[in-house]
Amino acid sequence: MKLAILSDTHGNYPLAVKALESLDSPDYIIHLGDTSDDAEMIELALGREIIKLSGNCDMAKKYPELIITMIDGNKCLLSHGDQFMVKNGLNLIQRRAKREEADLVLYGHTHRPVVQNLNGVLYINPGEMGKNSRLQSFALLSIENGAVTAETVDIRTILPTQSHFSSLYP
Amino acid sequence: MKILLTELVERILAGNNISYEEALELANLPDSETISFFSHANQLRNHFFGNRIHLCSIINAKSGLCPENCSFCAQSVHHTTNAPLFPLVEEEEIVSGAIRAESEGSGCYGIVTSGSGIRQGEELERIRQALTRIREETGIPPACSLGVINLEIASILKEAGMEKYHHNLETARSFFPNICTTHAYDDDLETLKAVKQAGLKVCSGGIFGMGESRAQRVELAFTLREMGVDSVPINFLNPIEGTKLADADYLTPMECLRIIALYRFILPDKQISVCGGREKNLRDLQSWMFFAGASGTMIGNYLTTSGRAPLDDWQMLLDLGLTPAEQ
């Protein structure tokens, strides 16, 4: 099973669409918030439903702020991360992950792409895709027979014409 | 009360509908009238359907990670359950399922997917192609249950060979906020209207035993009647660990049968099929469902729970002197 994880697109959904279109049709796409409006636009552009969460910039909170679900035998905790103050470190989200006995944590908010294993739990932050960000990225997750592999993907590696400070839609 | 039931049946057979107040009275009949209630419902079933029972099957074509928060659903992303998770299956698997359903004597094959509603894109195209092949390669009419759709999507599916679209209202409007808050009841009603407008048959029913009142069961039945649905699946809640309704325990086998009989009186000429939760809730009284007024049942497995072997249901029909409608 292949999953594409995005977060913090902050209005730059066209780039997200381009990035996702370049992939080999992931089984699931998850947007971790900021903004869920972008997630809705991505759905319209791709003609498929994506899993949407609300971030701190999603004032209406149309979508859940926390999802705990099983994916191929792995208990997954999905959150934008603001409610766990991830910009100050991962202590709070680690505590929640421990309480939920999660195997996998997907979070955003910090705008920094990360894949790290902490006490046996895999933490994945896809980074951001904002128009003016220096590093635009997302994450790819593969779950086969319960085993998880993950990587973050620099947009420039799949869309080489994409420069640091521009979006494809000026 | 016996006189009331007989009078109601006579009026229905003369082409009249029962009133809301009469339906409420039926919903609250004393236990002493239960068997008579069933007997009269059976009379209605027999009048409109004879000894023919409609059998239907489904394939869980895409499972899990549904963004809706329906409190009964194991596949909701808001719950943590062991529901299977997989993306839309390949076209070949959908078509193979239809061939198998036909060989098991099913008269309708439903392609069911999780999610809020399908839209234009790869998934719809795959289903469209599967529908076309099912039409070409089998004799079983395909149906779909793909969530909230609009007229455009309904028309595409009809063009591909779909005859019927399924979309449950699940419960009464007055109880709906207790069940789902991620979409509006009107979204579901609009889907039924779009399906009708596209010229398709509408299959819509509900899940019972979620805590709704008897009056709310009547309310749902009247909504379905107003919407002019063609067939009504009746599901009984199978409480799933990890869902909000995991501890629900509102139904007895006799109460389930009374719901069937009630719906037969309110929707006398509609296909009323007992679907999910049948084995768990009716237990040894499964065969009574036809006596209580059901004119159909689902065979094989449900979405995330197992059903009993189709051969066992065939034997049940034979033992009752009933026959599958499509034979």
- Does residue A169 carry a pLDDT above 90? no
Closest CA–CA distance from residue A53 to any residue of chain B (Å): 10
Closest CA–CA distance from residue B77 to any residue of chain A (Å): 6
- Does residue B20 carry a pLDDT above 90? yes
B272 three-class SS: strand
> Does B242 map to a domain?
yes
> Does A169 map to a domain?
no
- Does residue A170 carry a pLDDT above 50? no
- Does residue A163 carry a pLDDT above 60? no
B120 three-class SS: coil
Place of tokens 């299956």: B89
User: What's the domain count of chain B?
Assistant: 1
Q: Which residues contact B57 (CB under 8 A, 6 or more apart)?
A: B97, B101, B104, B106, B108, B109, B110, B298, B299, B300, B310
**Residues B296, B53: contact at Cβ < 8 Å?**
yes
CATH number at residue B81: 3.20.20.70
Closest CA–CA distance from residue B182 to any residue of chain A (Å): 8
> Does A47 map to a domain?
yes
- Does residue A140 carry a pLDDT above 80? yes
User: What's the domain count of chain A?
Assistant: 1
Is B121–A47 a contact, with Cβ atoms under 8 angstroms apart?
A: yes
**If you average pLDDT over residues A51-73, what whole number do you get?**
92
Is B122–A47 a contact, with Cβ atoms under 8 angstroms apart?
A: yes
**If you average pLDDT over residues A46-59, what whole number do you get?**
94
Chain B residue numbers touching A48 (CB-CB < 8 A): 119, 121-123
**Residues A68, A84: contact at Cβ < 8 Å?**
no
**If you average pLDDT over residues B102-121, what whole number do you get?**
94
> Does B177 map to a domain?
yes
Calculate the CA B188 to chain-centre distance.
15
Is B67–A49 a contact, with Cβ atoms under 8 angstroms apart?
A: yes
Query: For chain B, where are the E strands, in sequence order?
Result: 52-62, 109-113, 142-145, 164-166, 201-203, 206-208, 231-236, 271-274, 296-298, 323-324
> Does A19 map to a domain?
yes
**If you average pLDDT over residues A11-40, what whole number do you get?**
95
**Residues B230, B192: contact at Cβ < 8 Å?**
no
CATH number at residue A17: 3.60.21.10
Closest CA–CA distance from residue A134 to any residue of chain B (Å): 32
> Does A143 map to a domain?
yes
> Does B55 map to a domain?
yes
pLDDT range class, residue A167, cuts 50, 70, 90:
very low
Chain A residue numbers touching B122 (CB-CB < 8 A): 25, 47-48
> Does B327 map to a domain?
no
ipTM of the modeled complex: 0.80
> Does A152 map to a domain?
yes
Cα nearest neighbour of B79 on chain A: A69
> Does A162 map to a domain?
no
> Does A166 map to a domain?
no
pTM of the model: 0.91
**Residues A111, A127: contact at Cβ < 8 Å?**
yes
> Does A149 map to a domain?
yes
Q: Which residues contact A65 (CB under 8 A, 6 or more apart)?
A: A33, A53, A54, A79, A80, A83
**Domain, as residue range, for A102:** 2-157
> Does B28 map to a domain?
no
- Does residue A165 carry a pLDDT above 70? no
Q: Which residues contact A8 (CB under 8 A, 6 or more apart)?
A: A32, A33, A34, A55, A108, A109, A111, A127, A128, A129, A130
**How many residues can be counted in chain B?**
327
pLDDT at residue B327, as a whole number: 60
> Does B31 map to a domain?
no
- Identify residues of A whose CB sits under 8 angstroms from chain B CBs: 1, 25, 27-28, 43-44, 46-49, 51-52, 63-64, 67-72, 75
pLDDT at residue A70, as a whole number: 87
Closest CA–CA distance from residue B83 to any residue of chain A (Å): 8
* Cβ-based contacts under 8 A for chains A and B: 51
> Does B106 map to a domain?
yes
Mean pLDDT rounded to a whole number for chain B: 95
Tokens found for residue B99: 């061939």
pLDDT range class, residue A164, cuts 50, 70, 90:
very low
> Does B11 map to a domain?
no
Is A46–B121 a contact, with Cβ atoms under 8 angstroms apart?
A: yes
**If you average pLDDT over residues B252-262, what whole number do you get?**
98
Please tell me which of A27-31, B64-68, B300-304 the model is most confident about, judged by mean pLDDT: A27-31
Q: How many helices (H) and strands (E) does chain B have?
A: 13, 10
Chain A residue numbers touching B86 (CB-CB < 8 A): 1, 27
pLDDT at residue B56, as a whole number: 95
Tokens found for residue B284: 């040894």
